[in-house]
Amino acid sequence: MRNDAVVIGAAVVVVTGALLTLPLHAARQSSTGAPSAQAKPRNTAEKSVAIRRLPNGTPDIRGRWTRVGGGLNEAKAPETQLKAFGVLAEPQGFGQGDVAAGRGGEVAKRRVPKYLPNPRPPQGIVDPPDRVLPYTPEGLALRLDYAKNMCCPAKSLAHLELTIRCAPPQPWTGGGLHILQRPGEVVFLFEANHHSRVFYTDGRPHPASDMRFFGGHSIGHWEGNRLVVDTTNLDGRAFFGVGNTFAPFSKALHLTERFTVVSDKLITFEITYDDPKTFTRPVKSAGFFYTADEDEELAPEVTCHEGSYAMLDVFGF
């Protein structure tokens, strides 16, 4: 019974975590479906669309946005026992940041938010095109170890799914956010789990390599209409994966994110995940930001540690 409770708790947390990657205001909204990785955005950077700009000439991307995609929704992902609770190994066509499963394991039915671009820009893994991740032997062994031992019960603290631990959000986390901006700096303030990311674009370097963060350390620079963000100094605890299985990247993970301002209503992005200990070559994932209905506000606060009994349930103390 105890295990069942924990399993259900874990499943709820996994699903809740997935839900939280959408803005709360969008909970009543929905999306139909599964955009393909091949879909092209309606607007491309090549077209000369007028873009709002700051006095220093960089695109002005301040405002309310929703971020989707960017995660590694690998094909042929190994299953875990969470499947019994309707949490699928591979969400049906969504990149990370979209709701995969609803109650009872049904694919969540959602209405299309009116500001979503149509057709959708790519979401999820775009390289390799078949979404089969190129594991190193070491990376594959770790992946299978986590698939076997993360549930249920988990083998150790390290094998626990991260949202149940209220972990700090990972750099590729999505959902509703405010973007704030000033010369030399871009800041993302997400709704979920008071996640924030800062990209100084003033030329400063990363700190020393022995200074490590769960979400890494990011610096950025503008290349025309593109914000290029370089993230290193991760502590090796962040997980990749979408659905019911996860595994940690190594500390060697190096992310390059390219955010392309397509218009005042659409930013597309591509993330290069370079982790030579996990993958034999860099892997790329895509996603996009779309503007939100300006009349809708984000929740002032969505906490996790402050309301969680999960660790007590899992460990009994």
Partner 1 sequence: MTRFLRLTLVVVGIAVSTVVTFAAGQTTAPAARPAARALPAAGVNQLPRTSDGKPDFSGIWQALNTAAWDIQDHSASLASLLGVPPGRGVVEGNEIPYKPEALEQKKKNFAKRGTDDPAFAKCLLPGVPRATYMPYPFEIIQNPNLVGIRYAFARAVRTIGLDGKSRAWLEGWPDFWMGDSRGKWEGDTLVVDVRKLDEKSWFDHAGNFHSDALHVVERYSPLDRDHIQYEATIEDPNVFTRPWKMSMPLYRIVEKNAEVFEWDCRFDQDSEKYKDAIPK
Applying CB under 8 A, the residues found at the interface with partner 1 are 2-3, 6, 12, 16, 19-20, 24-25, 27-28, 55, 62, 153-157, 160, 165-168, 178, 180-182, 185, 187, 189, 194-196, 198, 200, 204-205, 213-215, 217, 297-309, 311-312, 314-317
Complex with partner 1: residue 140 or 189, whichever CB lies closer: 189
Q: Taking the complex as a whole, how short is the minimal distance between the CB of residue 10 and partner 1, in angstroms?
A: 10
DSSP reduced 3-state for 24:
helix
Q: Taking the complex as a whole, how short is the minimal distance between the CB of residue 286 and partner 1, in angstroms?
A: 25
User: Which residue shows structure tokens 């009543």?
Assistant: 28
Q: What's the full length of the chain, in residues?
A: 317
Backbone angles phi, psi at 198, to 5 degrees: -120, 130
Q: Taking the complex as a whole, how short is the minimal distance between the CB of residue 39 and partner 1, in angstroms?
A: 28
* C-alpha distances in Å from residue 184, one per residue of 208, 218, 246: 21, 13, 35
Q: Taking the complex as a whole, how short is the minimal distance between the CB of residue 299 and partner 1, in angstroms?
A: 6
Complex with partner 1: residue 89 or 160, whichever CB lies closer: 160
Q: Taking the complex as a whole, how short is the minimal distance between the CB of residue 216 and partner 1, in angstroms?
A: 8
Q: Taking the complex as a whole, how short is the minimal distance between the CB of residue 307 and partner 1, in angstroms?
A: 5
Short-list 72, 57, 65, CA closest to 128: 72
Complex with partner 1: residue 112 or 299, whichever CB lies closer: 299
Complex with partner 1: residue 244 or 286, whichever CB lies closer: 244
Helix (H) or strand (E) run with residue 6 in it = helix 2-20
Complex with partner 1: residue 42 or 251, whichever CB lies closer: 251
Complex with partner 1: residue 86 or 282, whichever CB lies closer: 86
In the chain, beta strands by DSSP E: 63-69, 124-127, 175-182, 185-190, 196-200, 217-223, 226-232, 239-240, 247-248, 254-263, 266-274, 283-291
> Distance between CA atoms of 266 and 42, rounded to whole angstroms?
10
Cβ contact 113:31 at 8 Å: yes
Residue type (1 letter), 253: L
